[in-house]
Amino acid sequence: MLNGEYLSERIAAWHQRRANWGGALFHGRARPGPGDLLLMSNDYLMLGGQWAVVSAQLSALLEHGNGLMMSGVLVGDTDPIRDLERGIAAFLRAPAAMLCQSGWAANVGLIQSIASPGKPVYVDAAAHASLWAGVQAAGAVPVAFAHNDCAHLERLVARHGPGLVAFDTLYSVTGDLCPLTGLVDVAARTGCTLIADESHTLGVLGPAGSGLVAALGLTDRVAYRTASLAKAFAGRAGLIACSGQVADFLPFHSFSAIFSSTLLPHDVAGLTAALELIVDGEDRRLRLARNAAALRTGLTELGYNIAPSQSQIIPLRPGNEGMLCRLQTALDARGVFGAPFAFPAVGQNSTALRLSVHCDLTDGDLDRILGACAAIRDEVGLSRWKSTRRLLTAC
């Protein structure tokens, strides 16, 4: 039973790994109580609980139940999902948009459908795992370029030839933006085609929250925009924005679309309502930006090295998994719940506790977060963190 031995070894290694944490990290951590601050959610604009969203979902459930259990291939032209696709395309200033089950399905399905087998696809070394999985699914050749390094990308393209270039517009662990203008320039010089994953910028940046590509006026220079709508849209779906020709082709060639069921009616209804709130959400975006800036400044003043974050995603970087466990336990005990990131989401000793800021945090909430982070510095050994030592080296 070779496979059995393989699996047994993997499970044993997993048990050993968890034992080394010295405490609960994912399972078994403290349960948040009323009044605790939840910073592990990507609902940046706090739309998931809005009555407009919830009532739209309830109405759809009451009217349609769970709808038809069928592949997205079979969705008709008059289905509400088509209206939402047109609405999202207009919102993004894109020719067309296709909705699918998740951000993972969007990236894997898109690249699997459009990448040429055996040809290079350039992927930022820090890009989301779904982009890498898409390259693998296509049988294309993944070529990693150094994170946010346009010069390295251009050298690689000179050696391997033009191809697709895939990257995140905002990186989900480090919170830094991509150098979009530089990437567009490299693509123009080299004949490459860009795929921008806007999961963490949709709703947050750009005119009416339409993302970084629109914010920089580059909608006609980025061929493909993808996103998980489980962030600011606070729903369950994925998105691909592209030309009308490709949008017509994808549902019948993307395995993620063909071999998954379509979105449920109440998912579509909730996302439709969320889109309206996002378009009218300037006040929420301003409050989000203000809260994120305040937390980044406060944490920096406390001695935390949060570089290179420039957004609502703020990582605390303790080092190994045992140190992450200690950090999470200390903050959980003070009612501040972040999201732990460990391998394979990050490198083996590059863990993070991600604090995702949202627009409804009050000044009192921010003071409480900073108070907790101040109180735990000795307990978690902040001065010994690799990220803190980097800060001292830079001084």
Partner 1 sequence: MQTIDDETARIIKVVAAQLEIDPSEIGETDHLVEDLDADSLTLVSVLAGLEQEFRVSIETEQIPRMTDVRGIRAVIADAPSW
- Contacts with partner 1, residue ranges (CB under 8 A): 125-126, 143-147, 149, 151-152, 155, 159, 319, 346-350, 386, 389-390, 393-394
Nearer to partner 1, 135 or 230 (CB): 135
CB of 179 to partner 1, least distance (A): 14
- Find residue 164's DSSP bridge partners: 121, 193
Sign of CA dihedral 239, 240, 244, 246: negative
As measured in angstroms, the least distance from the Cβ of 376 to partner 1 is 22
The first and second tokens of residue 328, run together, are: 């999470």
**All residues at 6 or more sequence positions from 161 whose CB lies less than 8 Å from its CB, including other chains:** 119, 120
Instruction: Say how far apart CA 353 and CA 296 lie, in whole Å.
Output: 14
Q: Least Å distance between CB 127 and partner 1?
A: 10
Shortest approach of partner 1 to residue 349 CB, angstroms? 5
Cβ 166 to partner 1 shortest distance, Å: 15
CA dist list (Å): 138 to 29, 107, 121, 130: 39, 11, 10, 12
Length of the chain, in residues:
395
Nearer to partner 1, 10 or 390 (CB): 390
Taking the complex as a whole, how short is the minimal distance between the CB of residue 393 and partner 1, in angstroms? Answer: 5
34-54 burial, b for 16+ CB within 10 Å, e for fewer? Answer: eeebebeebbbbbbbebeebe
Closest of 264, 244, 201, 238 to residue 108, by C-alpha:
238
What letter does residue 251 receive in the DSSP assignment?
G
Asked if residue 344 has a cis previous peptide bond (ω within 30° of 0), the answer is yes
Run of H or E residues at 315: strand 313-316
Question: Would you say 53 or 150 has its CB closer to partner 1?
Answer: 150
Considering beta carbons, is residue 225 or 317 the nearer one to partner 1?
Answer: 317
Nearer to partner 1, 219 or 387 (CB): 387
**Measured distance CA(313)–CA(298) in Å, rounded:** 14
Distance between CA 105 and CA 237 in Å, rounded?
Answer: 9
**Residue whose CB is less far from partner 1, 144 or 372:** 144
CB of 301 to partner 1, least distance (A): 20
